[in-house]
Amino acid sequence: MQPDIDPIYRADCPSRAILDQIADKWSMLVLMVLREPRRFNAIKRRLDGITQRVLTQTLRKLERNGMVTRTVLDGKTLGVEYALTPLGQSLESPFNALYDWTVEKMDEISACQARYDQADN
């Protein structure tokens, strides 16, 4: 008989898919860049190392999850602008806390990694 598992740890818990979709590196960085509405190429320029394909996939995923809106801009130069929805904006505080923690702890983590890598593992 399987022991009782807290629902949030069950394989079928919807939180797993949501965390997988918003907590990856590129999604978090895109959401941080979109604190101000931006066009696709402006987002790409801000995120060193992201490919056009990965940025497109990330933006689609965030749009599907209700975090980002996509607006086609009319005018001389057609373009698309992305902006955070209220739901996407609600992630700013937790993401800022995680970012601040990362910056505060990165030297300590680097030292731990170096010690681990030097050990006989």
- For the stretch 82-104, pLDDT in tens is 999 999 999 999 988 988 999 99
* pLDDT(63) > 90: yes
Q: What is the DSSP letter of 37?
A: -
pTM: 0.81
How many structural domains compose the chain?
Answer: 1
Domain of residue 98 covers 7-120
Strand partners, 38: 82
In this prediction, residue 1 carries a pLDDT of 43
Rounded to the nearest 10°, the torsion over CA 89, 22, 46, 41 is -90
18 occurs within a structural domain: yes
105 occurs within a structural domain: yes
